[in-house]
A and B are shown apart, each in its own frame.
Chain A
Amino acid sequence: MSPASDKDGAVDGKTDAMGMLGFPDPGPPLFSSVTEVRERLAAVGYLADDGIAGVVHLADRLAKPVLVEGPAGTGKTELAKSVARVTGSRLIRLQCYEGLDESKALYEWNYKKQLLRIQAQRVVDDDGTKTGSPGDDDGAGDGVTSSWRDLEEDIFSEEFLLTRPLLEAIRSPDPVVLLVDEVDRVELETEALLLEVLSEYQVSIPELGTIRAQQIPLVFLTSNNTRELSEALKRRCLYLHLDYPSLERERDIVLARVPGVTEELADQIARIVRSLRTLELKKYPSVSETLDWARTLVVLGVESIDAEQAKATLHVLLKYRSDLERAAKELAVAGEDRA
């Protein structure tokens, strides 16, 4: 038993390596250094730390997909979008959901249009004017088959192909960032399909032949970790765990994303959120919630947060009643006046 499985492993490795040989050219590097990644992302309002920037840099150099995992609202989706923006690439997004299949991820034939085309052909045939060779009795049979063959060729051509995001990314002549968002939602079979496309960067359509990528897209797969992804997919990818940002980075994110916020307020917001995340809560405030809170405070004209304002607006950050109560108590904003 075990020698056989050993052998399987070896074969696997080899095909992988051979696949590499046929790879399209990854093209010139997009970034010259990790620092450059960070600076250019910052210029479009995405604040990355060295870990994030480092993985983006490597993904470009090694031409490997990145699997970004972490709690909701920590900037996974935004990272892919921002990388597309700074590299001037086209962003192609495949939003995953349970039940997503090949026909929605890769391609499908537009059968309605095909049916219409066949019907149109029949009308033409019945008129008996355009097709076949009138007067040539012997060739009648041939005429029908060849016209069917023509028709078949016709309806399985590009014109009737509905291109879905994966194929779109493979076919694009221009640089692409492919975002496969929330990949943990798809079924195992679709995950296997993804792995295949991301390993070979080619798609074969029986009726059309094989379509090879002209450039390797920069791929980001995001996951909220609701289930474990397959080992094979993880092996194929670089891995980035996106956690809640540090105090400094969160403050900078607030400054970059919320118009009208002062540095002092942003700092205070980041501090309070950091303290909240040290508590034992059911759901921790995410970066998007920090930003919502900051916007709320700016609209209310708050310049510096005191206990009253914190208490009145904390529900923007925390969604569970028990979390709200705990936070109010621990941060001492519960307000003694009510007691």
Chain B
Amino acid sequence: MLDVLTGFVGELRAAGLPVSLTESIDAAEAVHHIPLEDRDALKYALAATLVKSSAHWKAFETAFEVYFSMRGPQYEFGDDDSSTGDLDSENDNETENRGRGEGRGQGSGGGEGLSPEELAEMLFRALLSANDAQVAALARQAVSRFAGMEPGRPVGGTYYLYRTLRNLDLDRVLERLMETARASAPEGQLTPLEERLARDEFKSRLDRLRRELEDEIRRRLVADRGTEALARSLRKPLPEEIDFMHATRDELASLRRAIHPLTRKLAVRLARKRRHGRKGPLDFRSTMRHSLSTGGVPVDPKFRYPRPAKPEIIVIADISGSVASFARFTLHLVHAISSQFSKVRSFVFIDGIDEVTRFFENVDDVADAVHRINTEADVVWVDGHSDYGHALSVFWERWGEEITPRSSVLLLGDARNNYHASQAWVISEIRHRARHVYWLNPEPRAYWGTGDSILGEYAVHCDDVFECRNLRQLEHFVTELA
């Protein structure tokens, strides 16, 4: 057990979770107090001792499922050893073991002989009657039959999941479940509210089925490839490390969830920085002046502190395709902590440019404003392909005069200009008027200046250029900025 635990902690660290030595000792001790065969208890005990942030739960869970997928009431300990056999014979063993373990549901015995139609029918009935044990048994059958898993093939779990799901056609199953629910309602009809509730209930049962399928596929992959190799290939980036440019829908959702706590955290940290960063050298004159009220005794020393004026921020963001999410998250972040700045103005462009500051005024949810940018901003001039040169020169013409020595200008984008003219002189002009000009690029540094990226032409006129691929880098930049 200790070995497994050490490997598991190593995997968590590799996935970016900050597990300390004390915590891994706590975990080892915690394990003594739970029944070893109880996989859920093990999971909660390890989570409580090793994971101290809900944002890390997903990464933890993935690693846990891989490392401990062979443990549980259905499996005896040391099952890992037998898993060296080839995938097919392994499957047979497991199916039998499980059938015995649960002792109910027809999925156990004659399951092998089912035709695809029979399997689908049984699954439908199990879902309808919310028979979880049977759904689980049938999920394993479905993977056997539909996923087409072959030992040693370097294919990811999502590929097998997809093949299984395509065969099961869950959208159709959902509709059938709904039809059945309607048919059994009085007068053969559900009220709209009942419709919605029934649909959500069936969806949650289908979600559970999907999780069973994923579990089964993962178990088989572990058996085939070994724990460590699989854990590595399944590693999930932490929300703060998700790449803006290549985020999947799920990842975007987890980014959106991460940004609200992040803005709160940043606001508190910046406010504190402002409050504490104030003590400068002793201000002798002021101390003496104030000491007059105490008869010339300097009881209340005064300090000189540079009172840094809050900067005024001007954001100019490319919101075309590949860099759109980066722009959205940056605008969201900057506006959510706008009280840390004296003023925030935002401009977005593709080949045309539009000011969107107004969207953020008097809204109680920044996300709404960001959403409006997508639908309402006027950013297309000719063909809707990025044209930095045109956008920048229009900016300069219309708003250039409003840049002051208090302005910090942030340019966001990958500087992929579709071979248009760069008009880099605009950045140079901006730099002359502004306090600072920074460029934030969501592309990895290695790609800058390759292909149609002309970042170099702009970079020479900027105070600095930053790689900003994820929330962590963005957070870092913003902390320095305020």
Contacts and interface: CB of A to CB of B under 8 A. Distances in A.
Interface of A: 13, 16, 34, 50-51, 54-55, 57-58, 61-62, 64, 66-67, 69-70, 225-228, 231, 234-235, 237-241, 243, 247, 268, 271-272, 274-275, 278, 282, 305-307, 310, 320, 322, 330-333
A275 B197 contact: yes
Contacts of A272: 193, 197
Contacts of B121: none
B121 to A, nearest CB: 27
B291 to A, nearest CB: 27
A5 B21 CA distance: 15
Contacts of B299: none
Interface residues on B, range: 35 or more
A226 B191 CA distance: 41
Contacts of A241: 54, 57
List the 3 closest pairs (A to B, CB-CB), nearest first: A332-B192, A54-B44, A234-B52
B48 interface: yes
A275 B341 CA distance: 39
B214 interface: no
A117 B42 CA distance: 59
A226 B193 contact: no
Contacts of B49: 58, 238-239
A258 B52 CA distance: 34
A227 B265 contact: yes
Nearest to A234: B52
Contacts of A331: 192-193, 196
Main secondary structure of the interface of B (DSSP, over half): helix
Contacts of A307: 191-193
A306 B197 contact: no
A272 B191 CA distance: 14
Interface of B: 18, 20-23, 26, 29-30, 33-34, 40-41, 44-45, 47-49, 51-54, 57, 191-193, 195-197, 200-201, 204, 261, 264-265, 268-269, 364-365
A62 B29 contact: yes
Contact of A62 (B20, B30, B261): B30
B196 A13 contact: no
30 contacts: A16-B22, A34-B34, A50-B41, A54-B34, A54-B40, A57-B33, A58-B33, A61-B33, A62-B26, A66-B48, A70-B54, A225-B261, A226-B264, A226-B268, A227-B264, A227-B269, A231-B18, A235-B20, A238-B48, A239-B52, A239-B53, A240-B48, A241-B57, A274-B204, A275-B196, A305-B193, A307-B191, A322-B365, A331-B193, A333-B193
A31 B268 CA distance: 40
Contacts of A306: 191, 193
